[in-house]
Amino acid sequence: MSTRLSIRQMQMMVAIADAGSVSDAAVQLGLTQSALSHRLKEAERLLGAELFTRGQRRLNATQAGRRLLHAARGVLAELERTERDIHRLSVGIEEVVRLGVEACGGYHWLPDGLAAFAEGHPSIGVEIVPDVSLDPCRALRQGHLDLALIAANHPPIGFETISLRRDELRLVVPRGHALAQRDWVGAEEVAAEPYVAYHTTPEKGREYEQLFSPAGVLPARVISAGVTDAVLALVRGGLGISILPAWTLAPHLAPGELASVALTANGIHLNWYLVMRQGEAEASATRQLARTLHDLLGER
């Protein structure tokens, strides 16, 4: 049975649903509003069902529209992956390893890491998957990643892990902040300041478990920033303070706008691991990338 809708009509569905209006979707797709309206009417005629209804401020997908939208997103995502894979094959890339990095991780090591890997494995590509940083282990379990770089107190259960390095969690503040000159600060002093976090759900094994919970305090005001660059931009701008691994912080301290301070008299620590699914073959592309990164990034 042949399909009634074209790829362009599936792209239309996604664009209208995301934009909320035909006019905004038309701009996104590089079409006139009348052309996109005609495309929508033609899809509804072919399917014999209304796909959108007009709400107070935006178009809302009908039940039929929601079902089509779900399928359209899946089809377009698979088509994009297929085109990307074919392009890689055309330039000699036979396999791709999907790599995810913990939200609190940096990418300062990435150029050297990918260059070293490409030199020894020119037929294996590496794809950085950015939208799994809040829960890379879950993405591994679901098959969205092949390898993850994570920070934790202990290796995650149910995976194969390779230990890279021990690290210290450090307070980061603007250079002129009152806490910048301290040898160390406690939980109460950190909690008294606006706190810039990646998101509002506390990460296991990090500052909430190791610093705030033992002291019985929580930051009075939390600003959710999502990614490291946004966290540091807000701290640099004087809107709050934050806590990051020293390894992540290191390249951002050089310009002199930020200062790093120990947490508690003894410091608080965590470890970096490379994590993959159990049963990974010895000669697999994933394991070869893990070995290269371990040799480059592991403590000596």
**What CATH number does residue 214 fall under?**
3.40.190.10
What are the tens digits of pLDDT across the range 212-224?
A: 999 999 998 999 9
Residue 1 above 60 pLDDT? no
What are the tens digits of pLDDT across the range 55-91?
A: 878 899 999 999 999 999 989 888 887 887 777 666 5
pLDDT on residue 194: 95
Secondary structure (DSSP) of 128-192: E-GGGTT-HHHHHHTTS-SEEEEEESSPPTTEEEEEEEEEEEEEEEETTSGGGG-SEE-HHHHHT
Domain membership flag for residue 2: no
Shared domain check, 104 and 54? no
- Cβ(231)–Cβ(198) under 8 Å? yes
- The domain of 30 spans 7-90
**What CATH number does residue 54 fall under?**
1.10.10.10
Which DSSP state fits 241? B
Domain tally, the chain: 3
- Cβ(164)–Cβ(299) under 8 Å? yes
Shared domain check, 277 and 265? no
Rounded to an integer, what distance in angstroms lies between the CA atom of residue 250 and that of residue 155? Answer: 24
Q: Which residues pair with 195 in a beta bridge?
A: 222, 241
Instruction: For residue 147, give the nearest of 134, 137, 157 by alpha carbon.
Output: 137
Domain membership flag for residue 1: no
Shared domain check, 253 and 233? yes
Shared domain check, 173 and 158? no
Rounded to an integer, what distance in angstroms lies between the CA atom of residue 294 and that of residue 274? Answer: 8
Shared domain check, 264 and 175? yes
Which DSSP state fits 271? E
Shared domain check, 227 and 175? yes
Shared domain check, 286 and 138? yes
pLDDT on residue 131: 76
Q: Give the H or E element holding residue 269.
A: strand 268-277
